[in-house]
Amino acid sequence: MANNLHINLLRQGFKVWNLWREENPLSIPKLKGANLTGLNLCRVDLSGADLSEVDFSKTSLYKANLRGANLYKANLSEADLSWTDLSRANFTKANLAGANFNWADLNNADLREANLAGANFNWADLNNADLREANLAGANFNWADFNNADLSEVQGFGSISCSGANFNGASFRQTEILSSSLRMFREKGASFDEADFSEANIPISITASAPVRNKKEFFQSLLSWKNQESLNESVRKKSLLSSEQSLIPGILLYTDEDEKLSLYVRKHFDALDKLTGDWCTIYLLENPSP
């Protein structure tokens, strides 16, 4: 339960509140379940506070410090958390719909099962953030940094805006993503270098910039390619690509015994898709019906 003294101090503004925190460094703010909707709490120090189930809807927390705070099941819908320190904060199952997190620091934040629908995270730092099973439908992540973040099983990924975003090293295990969405994101400057799509629910479609002469050898060679540079070198040395163009798509059917091939292509999909060309498409069909 919320401590009434803490609520009254907080309602007096950041100067009174922050002074109290400085004078009581060992006191952990207890605001669980408090109704703080619509307040101006700019620059308040709520680091490490228990803010679980608090109603912050339409509240301004601009440049506040919520580092390490517990916001489990909190309601931050349409709240302003721009430029706020939210690193290592717990947002599990929180409602962040329509909130403003532009330029916020969410490094190592826990956003599992949170609702981020329609929220703005432009230029936000989400390095190493945990977004497993979160709802991202319609959210804006332009120029956001998701380096090594976990986006496994997230919902609505295909509907986000992420121009210039960095998803390098991010995990998309069991996330449903259309290859057309990935292509569109990359065209708008998003980066997926070393992102893990190994268990993602994604229809794989790879386009190559030159015709494939020996498709079987081409796919077998994928297992030894580690990055774009070595891929290009392997293609050159093995002469797998001919100079004559072909409009015939290549189709690879594989069984459970070819699991390594499947996992490799999924994990390195972005590097492979950089061999872009409209005339040749290679489809990987998993577990094809007889």
The 3-state secondary structure of 169-181, one letter per residue? CCECCCCECCHHH
Q: How many domains does the chain have?
A: 1
Residue 174 has a pLDDT of 87
The encoded tokens of residue 49 equal 């506070």
Which of 75-84, 168-177, 281-290 is the least confident region?
A: 281-290
> Would you say residue 196 lies in a domain?
no
Edge-to-edge strands of the sheet including 281-286?
205-207, 281-286, 250-254
The encoded tokens of residue 187 equal 């065209």
> Would you say residue 242 lies in a domain?
yes
- Is the per-residue pLDDT at 40 higher than 80? yes
- Is the per-residue pLDDT at 261 higher than 50? yes
> Would you say residue 226 lies in a domain?
yes
Mean pLDDT of 194-219: 56
The model carries a pTM of 0.71
With cut-offs at 50, 70 and 90, classify the pLDDT of residue 204: very low
Strand, helix or coil at 220? helix
Range of the domain at 275: 205-286
> Would you say residue 212 lies in a domain?
yes
- Is the per-residue pLDDT at 23 higher than 70? yes
> Would you say residue 269 lies in a domain?
yes
Q: Which is higher by pLDDT, 125 or 3?
A: 125
Rounded to 5 degrees, φ, ψ at 260 are -60, -40
> Would you say residue 120 lies in a domain?
no
- C-alpha 120/C-alpha 82 separation (Å) is 9
> Would you say residue 85 lies in a domain?
no
Report the half-sphere exposure of 226 (CA within 13 A, side-chain side).
1
Mean pLDDT of 219-228: 45
> Would you say residue 214 lies in a domain?
yes
